[in-house]
């Protein structure tokens, strides 16, 4: 849903959601509403933040495409949403991403692509494509999917919303050293690998906004600490936190999805290419605002997935 194209009807206040009744959001949604509703693709939507966002966007009138790794869980979420389409893909397999892109290419338009899928793994593993698993699932696969959908996204004047994290502050990598760093060669630290992947999300958003403007807008956000199955399965200190009693103090998936939905629907208040939290632009690590590193990451990612830069 780009400027002047597509839109969502009124968003209702839901239990556990932050500021869902924002009058600016409701007013702009009414102005942009269309009979059929915008087409919104949400990856990582079989559970957690993605499922919560898909439900709320559907209630608001969007035509939602639910993408997940588990066929059973993905189908169950889509079944709740009358008319929603369920597609499956394992982001640890780039051929799955290519197949998913081909399926999505059949859609008449894509107004919002929510690159929300992500994971953290306790041990260093290489995917069948030869990449460190956290890096591929959290950055490389979303990069490939977004690139393969370029024509549709440009034609629809779409928004790309990527789920990042405040953890990106721990993923800083020096210029010229990305190729080795993103593969998290031993000694492997799960928390560092995840932080670096989230750092890549922020840089990718910045470069995407620059390269595809004015046709496509790109933003990313930190959902905060959210009590989901993702956290419980994570490695390192993150996994320990989510498996401890402190999980009771974390945000709900609905609360974590609030900024995603806002970035996908609000007319203003966010900034193209920037990182957000709690419906506001947030400060990022200085290296995540470095255009040299952003271009380096884009070109490296293109080589790794076999695309021209």
Handedness of CA 227, 231, 236, 238 (dihedral sign): negative
194, 221, 230, 262: the catalytic one is 194
194 carries an active-site annotation: yes
CA distances from 79 to 82, 235, 298 (A): 7, 31, 36
| Alpha carbon distance 141, 123 (integer Å) | 19
| Alpha carbon distance 44, 91 (integer Å) | 10
CA distances from 243 to 192, 247, 257 (A): 19, 7, 21
Residues 300, 178 contacting (CB under 8 angstroms): yes
What letter would DSSP give residue 262?
H
| Alpha carbon distance 94, 144 (integer Å) | 8
Q: Integer distance in angstroms from the first to the last C-alpha of the chain?
A: 25
| Alpha carbon distance 84, 78 (integer Å) | 5
Helix or strand holding residue 212 (H, E): helix 190-212
- 169's CB contacts (< 8 A; 6+ apart) are 195, 199, 284, 285
- 72's CB contacts (< 8 A; 6+ apart) are none
- 237's CB contacts (< 8 A; 6+ apart) are 191
Q: Which are the catalytic amino acids?
A: 194
């Amino acid at each position: 849903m780009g400027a002047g194209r597509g839109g969502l009807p009124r968003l209702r206040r839901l239990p556990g959601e932050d500021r869902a009744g924002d009058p600016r959001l409701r007013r702009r949604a009414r102005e942009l509403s269309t009979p059929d509703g915008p087409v919104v693709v949400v990856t990582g939507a079989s559970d957690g933040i993605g499922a919560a966002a898909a439900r709320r966007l559907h209630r608001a009138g969007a035509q939602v495409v639910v993408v997940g790794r588990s066929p059973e869980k993905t189908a169950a979420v889509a079944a709740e949403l009358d008319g929603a389409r369920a597609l499956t893909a394992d982001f640890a397999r780039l051929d799955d991403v290519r197949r998913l892109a081909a399926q999505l290419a059949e859609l008449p338009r894509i107004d919002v692509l929510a690159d929300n899928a992500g994971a953290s793994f306790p041990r260093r593993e290489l995917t069948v494509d030869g990449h460190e698993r956290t890096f591929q699932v959290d950055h490389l696969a979303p990069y490939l999917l977004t690139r393969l959908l370029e024509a549709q996204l440009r034609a629809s004047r779409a928004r790309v919303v990527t789920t990042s994290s405040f953890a990106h502050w721990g993923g800083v990598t020096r210029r010229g050293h990305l190729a080795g760093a993103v593969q998290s060669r031993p000694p492997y630290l799960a928390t560092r690998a995840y932080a670096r992947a989230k750092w890549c999300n922020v840089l990718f958003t910045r470069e995407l906004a620059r390269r595809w403007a004015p046709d496509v807008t790109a933003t990313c956000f930190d959902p905060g600490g959210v009590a989901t199955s993702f956290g419980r399965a994570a490695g390192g200190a993150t996994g320990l936190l989510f498996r401890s009693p402190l999980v009771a103090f974390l945000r709900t998936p609905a609360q974590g999805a609030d900024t995603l939905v806002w970035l996908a629907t609000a007319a203003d208040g966010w900034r193209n290419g920037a990182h957000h939290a709690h419906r506001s632009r947030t400060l990022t690590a200085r290296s995540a605002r470095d255009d040299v590193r952003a271009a380096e990451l884009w070109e490296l990612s293109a080589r790794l997935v076999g695309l021209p830069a």
